[in-house]
Homo-oligomer: A and B are copies of this chain.
Amino acid sequence: MSKTSLQPPRGTRDFYPDDYRQREWLFGHFRRVAHRFAFEEVDAPMVEHAELFTRKAGEEIVDQLYHFELHDRHLALRPEMTPSIARMVIARAGGLRMPLRWFTITQNWRYERMTRGRKREHFQWNMDIWGEPGVAAEAELVGALFEALDALGLARGDARLRVNSRALLEESLRRSVLRQRPEVFEPLCVVIDKIDKIGAEAVVELLVDPTGPVRLESAQARDVVDMLRITSLDDAARHLPDDSPALADLRRFFELLEAYDVRDRVVFDASVVRGLAYYTGIVFEAFDSAGTLRSICGGGRYDRLAQTLGARPIPAVGFGFGDMVIAELLSDKGLLPDLPRVVDDVLFPFGEAERPSAIRLARRLRERDHRVEIVLGNAKLKRVMADADRLGAARIWLLGPDEVSRGVAKVRDLASGEESEETL
């Protein structure tokens, strides 16, 4: 066995008990919020037909697919959950009560260079509403994600949501760039999404690149990039027809956020378009207010995904909330708890003759839902006591030959040090 093989593959994580408790603490918050919003949990296989994920829009996520051929099938580890959810909804669209509210907490895979807060696998909490075209759905999701941030202990100002609408951008460009070539909208969004990372000039270059998928004229590209600088709805309105449905939706969305009491934590930002090609309407991303980390979570409306997969249109909106960036933010703020192991009772039979009595006692305590550890080998009392203390057990039960012959055990409360005798 080579040394490498004793490590998990590069970019993947082992979860030792401490790590696992922390992970479940986080997932527990996700689940609790999801349940409060009456979402139901679902799951799909981590391995899917690669075809479900391969799209032609130049997205990073497609280039980074873990994919392989096996017995003439082209398979892939899912890089994100939404296509699997879409597949499941479409397969039973006739029998599902809409709108449906589903959530998942799943591991996703991307083969990529690693940077801070990014590995080759991550877990993601997804919340999706299918079958509702109105922005009440977007607002409900944003309400849920802020409730999760609050539940995790973040202060009101620690994170903020940047919101835009692809429909708004599309309407703005319909009279110019998209008039003759509406098909460039998806790849255009994929390029625009890189602006925070590569800057405006590089985005212009990609937009005009004659070998790229968008191929704008230089002036058009500059107009697009200028438009991304808009940070108020009123400014955005100037590029739009008076009866713009996208603008009306956004205004209504912001109104509803007042009722969720999160309006002050949300800003309009025309540069947010999201890197996935399938979004069609409102899109949003949450960031730490200090701006030092990648996005905490992001999502939006993707009304055309069902069609892309060959089904009739079904409106849909959702978000994905990864486990890595939030853990960094919580850790920076001192909010990531170190969770100790929980053991109620340690049972110590002094010798093998006392073991059956210890086992019978364990059965009784376990029936009462106690967490019971029986000392398994031949240990010294001193080491057992030290161990029980260290692992934070509540009580230790000592079963020596004398006690067992009298049908009792000595119990020591490890917090108070008090000792008593209990009948076995």
User: A145 → chain B, closest Cβ, in Å?
Assistant: 13
Chain B hits for A260, CB < 8 A: 359, 363
Q: Is A184 among interface residues, defined by CB-CB distance under 8 A?
A: no
Report B-chain residues with C-beta under 8 Å of the C-beta of A40.
17, 20, 341
Determine whether A160 belongs to the interface, using a CB cutoff of 8 Å to chain B.
Answer: no
Q: Is the CB of B41 within 8 A of A1?
A: no
With A363-B260, A376-B136 as known contacts, state yes or no: A107 contacts B48, CB within 8 Å. no
How many copies of this chain does the complex contain? 2
Contact A43 B70 (CB under 8 A): no
A8 contacts B by Cβ under 8 Å: yes
* Among B5, B52, B360, contact of A5 (Cβ-Cβ < 8 Å): B52
Which of A173-181, A269-277, A292-300, A367-375 lies at the interface with chain B? A367-375
Closest Cβ–Cβ distance, residue A57 to chain B (whole Å): 15
Asked whether B1 lies within 8 Å of A363 as measured between CB atoms, the reply is no
Q: Is the CB of B5 within 8 A of A111?
A: no
Cβ contact within 8 Å between B68 and A4 = no
Q: Is A258 interfacial (CB-CB < 8 Å)? A: yes
Tell me the chain A residues, 1-49 only, with Cβ under 8 Å from chain B: 1-9, 12-17, 20-21, 23-24, 32, 35-38, 40-49
CB pair B13 A258 closer than 8 Å: no
Q: Are A372 and B38 closer than 8 Å at their CB atoms?
A: yes
Which residues of chain B are near A376, meaning CB under 8 Å? Answer: 99, 129, 132, 134, 136-137, 140
Establish whether residues A374 and B6, one from each chain, have CB atoms under 8 Å apart when the complex forms.
no
A45 touches B372 (CB 8 A): no
| Complex interface: chain B residues within 8 A of A129 (CB) | 376
- Among B24, B88, B91, B136, which residue has its beta carbon within 8 angstroms of that of A41? B24
Given contacts A36-B371, A40-B20, A70-B68, whether A99 and B9 have CB atoms under 8 Å apart is: no
Contact A308 B1 (CB under 8 A): yes
A47 lies within 8 A of B363 (CB): no
The docked-state distance in angstroms from the alpha carbon of A129 to that of B77 is 31
Are B71 and A14 within 8 A (Cβ)?
Answer: no
Residues of A116-158 whose CB lies within 8 A of B: 121, 129, 132-134, 136-137, 139-140, 143, 147
* Smallest CB separation, A379 vs chain B (Å): 10
Q: Least Cβ distance of A369 to chain B in Å?
A: 7
Q: When the two chains form their complex, are residues A17 and B374 in contact, meaning their CB atoms are under 8 A apart?
A: no
B1 touches A309 (CB 8 A): yes
Nearest B-chain residue to A32, judged by Cβ: B369
Q: Are B17 and A359 in contact (CB under 8 A)?
A: no
A414 CB, min distance to chain B CBs, angstroms: 15
Known contacts A6-B91, A6-B309, A355-B259, A371 near B38 by CB under 8 Å? yes
CB distance from A68 to the nearest CB of B (A): 3
Which A373-392 residues sit within 8 Å CB-CB of chain B? Answer: 373-374, 376-377, 387, 390-391
Known: A9-B73, A47-B77. 12 other contacts (CB 8 A): A5-B48, A9-B47, A12-B45, A13-B45, A17-B41, A17-B102, A21-B41, A35-B342, A35-B371, A36-B366, A68-B69, A134-B376
Which A residues are within 8 Å of any B CB, using their own CB? Answer: 1-9, 12-17, 20-21, 23-24, 32, 35-38, 40-49, 51-52, 66, 68-71, 73, 75, 77, 84, 87-88, 90-92, 97, 99, 101-102, 107, 109, 111, 121, 129, 132-134, 136-137, 139-140, 143, 147, 252, 255-256, 258-261, 308-311, 341-343, 352, 355-357, 359-360, 363, 366, 369-374, 376-377, 387, 390-391
